[in-house]
Structure 1
Amino acid sequence: MSGQAAIVVGAGPSGRALAHRLAHHGVPVTLIDSRIERRWTATYAAWTDEVPAWLDDSVIAARTASVAAHAVHRRHIPRGYSVFDTVGLQRRLHLDGVNVVEARARHVAPDRVITDEGTVHRAGTVFDCRGAAADGPSARAAPRQTAFGIVLGREEAAPVLDGAEAVLMDWRAPRHGSPWCPRGAAPSFLYAVPVGDDAILLEETCLIGRPALPVAELADRLTIRLAGHGITGDRARHRERVSFPVLISSPTPWRLEPLRFGAAGGFMNPTTGYGVATALRWADTAARAVADDEDASAVLWPWRAQQVWRLRLRGAAVLLGLDPVQTVRFFDAFLALPIESQRSYLSERADLRGTLTAMRRVFAALDQPTRTTLVRRTMTGRI
């Protein structure tokens, strides 16, 4: 058992996973949040090979062996995809052995946390896992991902799936809507995945925008898109609204004090919005570092991870600078990459060589005007 105690602030998936793994490795840990057991309502998903081995099948609501994707061309991606059962995940990340403090953190420092009632909690290591709340007002100005979705039965959703187990992204304009054009509104894509045995989430998504498309507009686009497949959505079992920042305020999260972990700590890929699986994978690494009295920041942020993060920021800048037609062409090039290159860019936050290779391959596959835009945005790096 380590003699150095730890404090985790924030009980979302990242914070709860970290507290759970710290306790598992014998680290005295305190978890602070104003609503420790609040129910998670978002839909979380991951590539199946990203799910850490210490999680069992009780945390999975649905799993597919492959996904389809459509930009200019339809692609089949033979990589397993899993949707989490949020209730099962929350239950599996139990807090046995964790000192739970249900209070709002008013001040968070590298060695102490002060709650609203004035209580001071001290520890050798403090992790800030509050997500966007850690950035305060600056998070509201950050580029965001927005989405609107409904859950239908598998039979009703079948025309959208078109024989696929799941659709990661369909960038085609809705059949009864206006086609994407260079000077038109930002494009959005359809995301269609199983969330249960007979339940399919159909979601219209704005991947990244500043400003992002309003959720209400995405709801209208989804209605138009589904109408093109003869689907009214009148029998929707559930509706989901999504809006969250995909970039944190600091371009160098490894220098932040206290150390952040999770979405506000650079563990979300800003070009995809995926971050829960990354936090789950790295929670055990962080916990082991504390248990072994290592520098958690150095362990979580080796040089290669820092460089990959900088490349991902430039990738986000590129996406913000593409027009609608270029966006679709960009993703068509990306979806044509070999699986190992896709995996390096999407999932491996410390694979510098793989990330660079993926970026070079996408660049080589693009037309000259889109390449010019990429170069301009990459050189400026403006987010």
Structure 2
Amino acid sequence: MTPPESRSDVAIPASPCSDVLVIGAGPAGLCIAAALAAEGLQVAVLSDADPQAPWPNTYGIWGEEVDSLGLAHLLGHRWSHTVSYFGPGEADPGGPGNQPVLHGRDYGLFDKVRLQAHWLEQARRLGVRWHRGEAVGLAFEGERGAQEPAGVSVVTTAAGERLRARLVLDASGHRSALVQRPDEGPVAGQAAYGVVGRFTAAPVEPDQFVLMDFRCDHLSPEQRSEPPSFLYAMDLGEGRYFVEETSLALAPPLPFDTLRQRLELRLAHRGVAISAVEHEEFCLFPMNLPLPDRQQPLLAFGGAAAMVHPASGYLVGALLRRAPGLARAVAAACADGQASPATLAAAGWAGLWPQELRRKHALYQFGLDKLMRFPEARLRAFFATFFALPEPQWSGFLTNTLSVPQLLAAMLRLFALAPWEVRLGLLGLQGREAARLGRLLRP
């Protein structure tokens, strides 16, 4: 495969007008670029980094989810022994605080190199064009009036180049400088510090995947009063493991140094030390980012479009499920050669964030606001109750595949099953919770 141009000293020639200019070449950018090109659109990608540069983070997905997409061959690892721990932990290894909750569902970790190559090959085969540079401005040629820009979108790069397209789609992540969204106050971030490497003893059982280990017996009483964190870990085989200390969404998020110290304390408490580091992961992304302004004359996808699941933090599954529908909506709108950027973007926003998904987003954010106020013991009790729900309810909640009535039914059932300390924490409205429920009625 001929690689995209990666030399910063090579001038990018003036390009013809594309149907869609995608900004960003991470998972979201490559996914949507390939989907748009598969609909017969002329697609260009603008990226300030080499599209073939290795991705720094890992991406997980539930087994049934990746199977339904027909992409299980892109997994690097798959586990059937999937568990969580929600007890406080205690000296007796067989005690109730150390008993795992068995999830009974496969979990997979994408092979990042294979996933990236999958999308790059699709893009190459479908004729996607590549540009290098940083997008710093967006304007429109051929305006009809102050209310509706028409004609062609023009993106200006930091080097002064002007790239023209009928529609601009920003997939550059949640820090996008072009996507407009309302200011709803502090944005909560989920932070994680992880290590892929070798250890003096096994940090998890053989062939085991640990979704959440909330045991906190390695922390002092003072540390337990601080915002909680949990272990996300897996056996990668051949003596290699991935362990990651993760916090739920917080504003401001937990510092990486705090997470690193907690991970070391957690391992040491169980007689484990890191003997060789192959890779360090520093992960931070927003969990309650407001939905973008759907009236703006450009489109977004991925983190820039607030597609990170507000409750679970998952993104790649949503990218894979929703990219084809968004691409079809954009292609249908582009069939009208006179459609303005605003018209094309409106069709895209309607396809990406229909009323049903906007209502679910409000419900998930409402739930997240509740959990961010829970102390450590109440949070453990909440998750123990959540995973006691019937599997279709908790798995559909985490993958965002339930309908609004099904989602409400799951939340009500959780409330009925929860201990009183959790119910009390779920009652009453504080902060932005009333506004979240208002968007359930008027998304």
Provide the rounded CA distance (Å) in 1 between the counterparts of 2:236 and 2:157.
Answer: 37
Contact 1:45 1:81 (8 Å CA) reproduced: yes
Residue 54 of structure 2 corresponds to which residue in structure 1? 39
Gaps of 5+ in 1: none
Please report the TM-score for the alignment, with normalisation by the length of structure 2.
Answer: 0.77
Provide the rounded CA distance (Å) in 2 between the counterparts of 1:326 and 1:181.
Answer: 15
User: Which of these residues, 215, 218, 224, is aligned with residue 172 of structure 1?
Assistant: 215
Provide the rounded CA distance (Å) in 2 between the counterparts of 1:52 and 1:292.
Answer: 28
Provide the rounded CA distance (Å) in 2 between the counterparts of 1:323 and 1:74.
Answer: 21
User: Which of these residues, 108, 116, 120, is aligned with residue 82 of structure 1?
Assistant: 108
Provide the rounded CA distance (Å) in 2 between the counterparts of 1:140 and 1:100.
Answer: 36
User: Which of these residues, 164, 171, 180, is aligned with residue 129 of structure 1?
Assistant: 171
TM-fit CA distance, 1:363 = 1.6
User: Which of these residues, 311, 334, 351, is aligned with residue 271 of structure 1?
Assistant: 311
TM-fit CA distance, 1:168 = 0.3
Distance 1:380 1:363, change over 3 A: farther
TM-fit CA distance, 1:43 = 0.9
Bigger radius of gyration? 2
Provide the rounded CA distance (Å) in 1 between the counterparts of 2:67 and 2:39.
Answer: 16
Matches within 5 A, 1:278-293: 278-293=318-333
Comparing 53-62 with 37-46, which one deviates more in the overlay? 53-62
Provide the rounded CA distance (Å) in 2 between the counterparts of 1:118 and 1:350.
Answer: 46
Contact 1:71 1:328 (8 Å CA) reproduced: yes
Distance 1:103 1:55, change over 3 A: farther
Whether 1:30 aligns to 2:71 is no
Residue 298 of structure 1 corresponds to which residue in structure 2? 350
Matches within 5 A, 1:63-212: 63-72=78-87, 74-94=100-120, 95-96=123-124, 97-108=127-138, 111-134=153-176, 141-153=186-198, 158=202, 160-162=203-205, 165-173=208-216, 175-178=217-220, 184-195=225-236, 198-212=239-253
TM-fit CA distance, 1:125 = 2.7
**Structure 1, residues 142-199: CA drift from partner, whole Å, max 9, x if none?**
211111122234x8563x32456200001110x43225888x1011101112456653
Percent of pairs with identical residues: 31
User: Which of these residues, 318, 326, 330, is aligned with residue 378 of structure 2?
Assistant: 326
Provide the rounded CA distance (Å) in 2 between the counterparts of 1:273 and 1:64.
Answer: 20
Provide the rounded CA distance (Å) in 1 between the counterparts of 2:398 and 2:296.
Answer: 24
Please report the TM-score for the alignment, with normalisation by the length of structure 1.
Answer: 0.88
**Structure 1, residues 1-38: CA drift from partner, whole Å, max 9, x if none?**
xx981121111100111101212222111111111323
Contact 2:39 2:328 (8 Å CA) reproduced: yes
Contact 2:207 2:235 (8 Å CA) reproduced: no
User: Which of these residues, 21, 35, 38, is aligned with residue 7 of structure 1?
Assistant: 21
Q: Work out which structure has the larger RCO, using CA pairs closer than 8 Å and 6 or more positions apart in sequence.
A: 1
Comparing 305-314 with 274-283, which one deviates more in the overlay? 274-283
Q: State the SS of the aligned residue for 2:190.
A: strand
Letter in 2 for 1:113: V
Letter in 1 for 2:414: V
Letter in 2 for 1:35: A
TM-fit CA distance, 1:291 = 2.5
Gaps of 5+ in 2: 1-16, 88-98, 140-148, 335-346, 437-443
Matches within 5 A, 1:217-366: 217-248=258-289, 250-251=290-291, 254-255=294-295, 257-293=297-333, 295-348=347-400, 351-366=403-418
Provide the rounded CA distance (Å) in 2 between the counterparts of 1:204 and 1:373.
Answer: 25
Distance 1:339 1:149, change over 3 A: same
